Amino acid sequence: MTISSIKFNNFSNTVKLEGTVLQDNLCFDSTVKTDISMINILMNHLQRINPDNLIMDRLQSEELPDDEIHYTIDLEGLNNSIALAVLFADDQYKQIRA
């Protein structure tokens, strides 16, 4: 998966990865949700493959009413590919296309 952005907020236990999946001869836009506990694995992987760029410098936050904060990390222009098996090493993952 080539990740274009990572989104999460301070009240949720999930991280939303938006990007493009290349599987066999198919290429399609996809959104993958994973547990917030995987954010460190994801960030470490992205930082390792982009040593000249600080991934956290791309973190933007937006404060909303009721103390909710939305975070977005824009990864456009970086080496931002990750195998979904890295995030779901212990679990099976399913992609649903409509």
Domain ranges within the chain, ordered by starting residue: 2-84
* N- to C-terminal Cα separation, the chain: 18
Return the amino acid letter for 43. Answer: M
State pLDDT tens for residues 28-84.
Answer: 999 989 889 889 989 999 999 999 999 999 999 999 989 999 999 999 999 999 887
- Which element (helix H / strand E) includes 22? strand 14-23
State pLDDT tens for residues 2-32.
Answer: 999 999 999 999 999 999 988 788 899 999 8
Give pLDDT, residue 26.
86
Whether residue 87 is predicted with pLDDT greater than 80 in this model: the reply is no
